[in-house]
Structures are given as C-alpha cells and as structure tokens.
Amino acid sequence: NAGVTQTPKFQVLKTGQSMTLQCAQDMNHNSMYWYRQDPGMGLRLIYYSASEGTTDKGEVPNGYNVSRLNKREFSLRLESAAPSQTSVYFCASSVFLGGQETQYFGPGTRLLVL
C-alpha cells in the first residue's frame, strides 16, 4: 500500500514550457486534491475532484488544468509555465472517518520555473 505517489519529485522548466504532474492513490478514495505550498503562504488549493469524472476550481486555479483520469489518478498540467508557478506541489486524497474528512498527502513535486 503505497498511499499517494507523485512524479516527478523535482523539475526545472523554462518560462513557456509545459508539463504534467502525475498523482496516483491506491486507497480507493473518491476525493483528490492538488495544492501548492509557498513560503509564508501555507497550502493553497488549486483544483479538486470529488469523484471520478468531476473536477472543480480551488483558491488558485489560474494557469493550471487537471484531469481525473480514473479513480486512482489525478494529474495537474501547466500549459505555459511562469516563474510565479515555482512552488512545491502536493497531491492529496481523502476519506471520511468518523464523520470527519482525513486527507493523505503525497511527498510533493518541487518545481522551479526559470
């Protein structure tokens, strides 16, 4: 049981390049999330998917697109990377336990846009 896995772990892009961040979970969770973490800003939600086939915008969706490929996989795409997108990106999945939502996070992808 690997939990939430993310690839790649590190990436350097030039401004204008595109890339896709991959996320997969093996816990059979319905909900999945993409966050970015910046110093002094905490975790901010980019997009989420409440179930397979649905996606919704979070707090900071501009410049990103997502795909919920199946129940296990949720990818985040940067079509034209900008330096402002330099950040650490975390994927998470969640389950309700005892009436409360518990999120499980992946190890993160560190992205530098030059």
Helix (H, G, I), strand (E, B) or coil at 69: coil
User: Which of 26, 59 has the CB closer to another protein?
Assistant: 59
Q: What are phi and psi of 49, to 5 degrees?
A: -135, 115
The rounded distance, in Å, linking the Cα atoms of 62 and 94 is 23
Helix (H, G, I), strand (E, B) or coil at 61: coil
| Window 4 to 33, contacts with another protein (CB under 8 A) | 4
Q: State which of residues 19, 67, 75, 105 lies at the interface with another protein (CB under 8 A).
A: 105
Interface with another protein, residue 54, by CB under 8 A: no
Interface with another protein, residue 101, by CB under 8 A: yes
User: Which of 17, 58 has the CB closer to another protein?
Assistant: 58
Strands (E), the chain: 4-7, 10-13, 19-25, 31-38, 42-49, 56-57, 64-68, 74-78, 87-97, 100-105, 109-113
Interface with another protein, residue 66, by CB under 8 A: no
Q: Pick the piece of the chain touching another protein (CB under 8 A) from 15-23, 43-51, 60-68, 70-78.
A: 43-51
Interface with another protein, residue 61, by CB under 8 A: no
Residues near another protein, by CB under 8 A = 4, 35, 40-45, 59, 90, 92, 100-108
